[in-house]
Amino acid sequence: MIRFVIVILLPLIVAFGAEAMVMAGTQGDVRVTAVKKKPTSPTKVATGTERKGTSEVTVEVLTLVIQKYLEKEWKQKVATVSVTVLEPAESVVISGDSADLHVIPGPTEEGPGRRMFRVAVTNGKSQKTIQVVADVTAMIDAIIPSRFLKANEPIDVEDIKTVRMRVHQVNHPFMTNESEVIGMSAARPLPPDVPLRAAFIRPPLAVQKGDRVLIEVQRGGLSIRTYGITKSSGRVGQTITVANLDSGRELTAKVVGPSLVQVEF
């Protein structure tokens, strides 16, 4: 749970809004101070009524509290989070000069879109809950092919790029980690600029039909090596048929690496 200590300077927050200045704290704490924007005209004066012993939680502060909460919750899933508070439309008056604010987690994890948040405002023994309605937008850096890729074609670093795109679910199906894509092969023809999903890629072929391979024959503690020709293509871990070059005998072997298969008796 992220907590935020809000120090609100009442004389500086009347009619002109606030700018939130964030200073890093320890253990996830963020201290936010509300600062009045400078008037655009030297003749413009602040208006409003100041209540003794009270201060205001601005819309900007509520936005920051919710955004930091979501950034922590979705840290490894999305690239950026944007929050637009719809309700309350104005600052909320609270007692005291400072308060501890944090988002109360809901019973289930929700994704982007229009959401309701409950923000707890604690000032000593006094506690208040602010109901906040906000639009939440989440963006990811999706991986897309930079050119057309044929089925079974190996994917290199030059073959892909990233594009910032909006997602409607936090647990989206798109690939965002380049290291999980580079070195794989296309599971099907892949047109450029289409976000990659896990089902679109697979491990590359380690051997292809007609390749000359080294056959390791294992029987108990005895190991024999010979050469053969593959009768089919295969990936590491798959079983294929190979023909012994000396005897012509066909054997069922497991692919253990490029140009290397293993037979066990």
Mean pLDDT computed over 108-135 = 88
Better-predicted residue by pLDDT, 6 or 101: 101
Whether 54 contacts 95, CB under 8 Å: yes
Q: How far apart are CA 208 and CA 230, in angstroms?
A: 7
Structure tokens at 140: 């990811």
Structure tokens at 147: 């050119």
22: confidence class by pLDDT, cuts 50, 70, 90:
very low
Question: Looking at the predicted structure, is the pLDDT value of residue 216 above 90?
Answer: yes
**Residue 103: its pLDDT value, please?**
93
Domain boundaries, the chain: 4-40+49-137, 139-202, 212-264
Q: Which pLDDT tens digit goes with each residue over 132-142?
A: 999 999 999 99
- Give the CATH fold of the 212-264 domain: SH3 type barrels. (2.30.30)
Better-predicted residue by pLDDT, 47 or 177: 177
CATH 3.90.1210.10: does it fit domain 139-202?
A: yes
Q: Which pLDDT tens digit goes with each residue over 74-115?
A: 988 999 999 999 999 999 888 777 788 999 998 777 899 999
Burial string for 64-102 (b: 16+ CB within 10 Å, else e) reads bbbbbbbeebbeebbeebebebeeeeebbebeeeebebb
Single pTM value for the model: 0.67
Better-predicted residue by pLDDT, 233 or 52: 233
